[in-house]
A and B are shown apart, each in its own frame.
Chain A
């Protein structure tokens, strides 16, 4: 190819194809006659010294870069003459490879040729005038072009004024090499690169996309400069993530094969994923496998009895992957202690308040603002670990590979509040939940509350799979269930037809926020010291009704729908192959909750944003009414202000009374005086 890089010799200009006549930049001073390209000049003529230098440039309105944007042949001629005076014969390097400028207008060339009555004929090429008896001058496009000049043979490329030409070339090149103030590029290099790229890639319709190519080259130019920086930047985020992921796959060399008592705690996530995939739900296989591995890590680290992949909750910045586990009893005791501690703290708080009131009575002389008589409603204690809403312990992580975080147990207050608000999860467990009513906790608590609600609402199993542990026990105590060894899985068709084939196996959460109702007054009796309040509270205690809900293992056919929508939608995984299809349940109350059943295998999972479906728009709770300022009773009552007439009448009556008194006094005085 022989195309040099951004070379600095005029020879590199040969890279410009001879075909491009237009668009060639150049400050070719018209006074310089450029030798046409030796290689295939399109006009078909071999090199000739164009008798008229300036013409082709004039016609193309070439800027000289600094001065004289437009050339007249006259001016050109003058310059040419002046330049011609300084011309020196001789060889100039590389002049023979100058690009063809002779592709200008032949007519102009001829005109210039006519005008060019150069005095220094010995220096400038001899120009034949028309009609001199020879068969010239030939136009540049004619084959005999140049042949009529005796001093020049067709094979000679020398230009008689090399120095001027060189000067012109250098001027032109200097102009091209001028660096742009904005971008630091120069046209020379840019053009060379563009042409290189074009010749390398040889795209089609080059002329149409030349601007785009130029743009791309410029873009690539900058990109290259920042190469090292950008490489480092790119490595970081994906690299770290990949590292974490890789860590999952490494097996600890120190792992011992412990004897596992009972069924293995690690669930077969891939099997479950396979079944759900039949339903069209789930994550892709890679992610499922990574979750599988991270669950294995969890099981190894924490003392876990059973473990299950609960689901994935989407968040704004990050998502949550949730595992439902039952931990060994060591953890339970700790949890129990904290629960008791909390109750003690509450009682102490009440005692402090009572003491404060006593102090207030002592300091009656001082005018202090009235103490608040507000007593917050008694806090409902949360359920013990291992029972009710806290039956399972949940671990979350943002991505497989990240460490698992244990979620705190849920309190009834949190559940009650979570029912009233609807917030997106951000993905950070310590993010505050800004809402009204104010949520007692941060995002970890909110997440735990939603998980509890979703579990209670949507965890189902085929009817008969679980049975009560003790059939003699009352329904209230029916928290314990066990697998039914005599369970005969009904055919899939039956599972789909009627929802009575499915049953909840998680206790429903009452309005109070617990699964088992508790009378909140009982816990306060110890703290009461004033009798009046006790009496009042006893009355209220009678008023509160015990809350009940559907017992465990209720059939889901009894789930209330939302307006006209049933609570559950049942579908088969495929209609085409009934032998192998599985039954799939989709919850309409909690969109994103799915359950499948196939023979003895079943599972529940959740993929969604973590919110309940409500057909009406969510309207936040209104603030409570303003607190009463004082108790309305006999001592303080509120009456309407007296009107003006009443006031006047009252005033008049008072004055009469006074006048009457004065008269009496006056009489008495008179009496005394006498």
Chain B
């Protein structure tokens, strides 16, 4: 799984990969499960390597950790709404220094948000960006997760992978976040849905249209989806198997020019 992912994307360098495999299992006490790589956000002077720990209930908040050298990990506290709003206003690259402070004076002048602090730390921007990326472009294949009647979300042990025909369609992939469009579906559409599997928004109606690029690589054995909104988010899935996942290798900036580029 992870190996496939690394093959299809740009890899962390050999030294880093070895360090990752050495240090990720050590995260178990913190995250209640062995950490898995979320991705890497490249700053100007250094890169942040992000890992996350997944609990049995996937709908619960995930614990995230970051590291500058793949060895020492620091836990990130979940982002507050203020942090999310402020981070959206910030533009430009990450610096690579977690204690770097962004000056919010300009931002506040433009927007009407009044923030209590005059500065925002890069760490806060980091967690806000990660959550934003997950919320906007974190995807899973259809059927990989089931929702129990009690509301918790579990892995579907019966998931055997999408078929090749399904894998090429955008409607077979869901955003792994609170659904927004589900309620707006017509009754006719809802009738075809299976409430235990179809409880998330699919990618079909993402705006703008065409903000995902689907490709078959390695001779058609791996389907790779790349997000054009957050350049660097890559999702892979091997059809007819249980392997899937996504990683982010990029600069942590949203591609706001997307409508011009399509």
Contacts and interface: CB of A to CB of B under 8 A. Distances in A.
A280 B215 contact: no
B13 A424 contact: no
Contacts of A233: 164-165
B228 interface: yes
A234 to B, nearest CB: 6
B158 interface: yes
Interface in B30-44: 42, 44
Nearest to B250: A591
B12 interface: yes
Given A216-B158, A565-B44, A316 B15 contact: no
A194 to B, nearest CB: 15
B44 A588 contact: yes
Interface string B41-73: 010110000000000000000000000010000
A317 B224 CA distance: 11
Given A234-B164, A617-B256, A241 B220 contact: yes
Contact of A277 (B13, B218, B219): B13
Interface in A318-351: 318-319
Contact of B92 (A234, A318, A565): A565
Contacts of B112: none
Contact of A576 (B15, B44, B91, B257): B15
Given A574-B13, A591-B251, A615-B91, A316 B213 contact: yes
Nearest to A280: B13
Contacts of A245: 219
A237 B215 contact: no
Interface string B205-238: 0000010010110111100001010010000000
A282 B10 CA distance: 6
A422 interface: yes
Interface string A607-628: 1010100010110100000000
A518 interface: no
A199 to B, nearest CB: 19
A609 B13 CA distance: 21
Contacts of A216: 158
B251 A573 contact: no
B192 interface: no
A242 B165 CA distance: 18
A280 B11 contact: yes
B76 to A, nearest CB: 23
B221 A238 contact: yes
A281 B218 CA distance: 18
A182 interface: no
A22 B262 CA distance: 61
A279 interface: yes
Nearest to A244: B219
Contacts of B11: 277, 280-282, 284
A569 interface: yes
A566 interface: yes
A510 interface: no
Interface residues of B, number: 37
B13 A573 contact: yes
Interface residues of A, number: 47
B46 to A, nearest CB: 8
A437 B91 CA distance: 27
Contacts of A319: 215
Contacts of A237: 164, 216, 220
A607 B11 CA distance: 12
Contacts of A242: 219
A277 B13 CA distance: 6
Given A316-B213, A563-B92, A565-B92, A279 B13 contact: yes
A278 B13 contact: yes
A241 B216 CA distance: 10
A423 interface: yes
Contacts, number: 89
Contact of B260 (A277, A422, A575, A615): A422
B18 to A, nearest CB: 10
B93 interface: yes
Interface in B231-260: 231, 251, 256-257, 260
A227 to B, nearest CB: 13
Given A277-B14, A278-B14, A569 B44 contact: yes
B169 interface: no
A569 B96 CA distance: 11
Given A237-B164, A279-B13, A615-B91, A318 B260 contact: no
Given A317-B213, A422-B257, A574 B44 contact: no
A287 B9 CA distance: 11
A212 interface: yes
Among A318, A573, A591, the one with the most B-chain Cβ atoms within 10 Å of its Cβ is A591
A216 B256 CA distance: 44
A424 B14 contact: no
Given A245-B219, A615-B91, A566 B44 contact: yes
A314 interface: yes
A274 B226 CA distance: 25
Contacts of A314: 213, 226
Nearest to A588: B44
B7 interface: yes
Given A424-B262, A569-B45, A618-B260, A280 B216 contact: no
B12 A280 contact: yes
Contacts of A618: 257, 260-261
A619 B93 CA distance: 19
B205 to A, nearest CB: 18
Most chain A CB within 10 A, of B91, B220, B221, B228, is at B220
10 contacts: A237-B220, A238-B219, A279-B13, A280-B12, A284-B6, A286-B7, A317-B215, A422-B260, A576-B15, A617-B256
Interface of A: 212, 216, 233-234, 237-238, 241-242, 245, 277-282, 284, 286-287, 314-319, 421-424, 563-566, 569, 573-576, 586, 588, 591, 607, 609, 611, 615, 617-618, 620
Closest 7 CB pairs of A and B: A280-B13, A241-B219, A284-B7, A618-B257, A238-B220, A574-B15, A237-B220
Given A278-B15, A317-B215, A573-B15, 20 more contacts: A238-B219, A278-B13, A281-B10, A282-B11, A284-B6, A284-B8, A286-B7, A316-B210, A316-B213, A317-B213, A423-B261, A424-B228, A424-B261, A565-B92, A573-B13, A575-B69, A591-B251, A617-B257, A618-B257, A620-B260
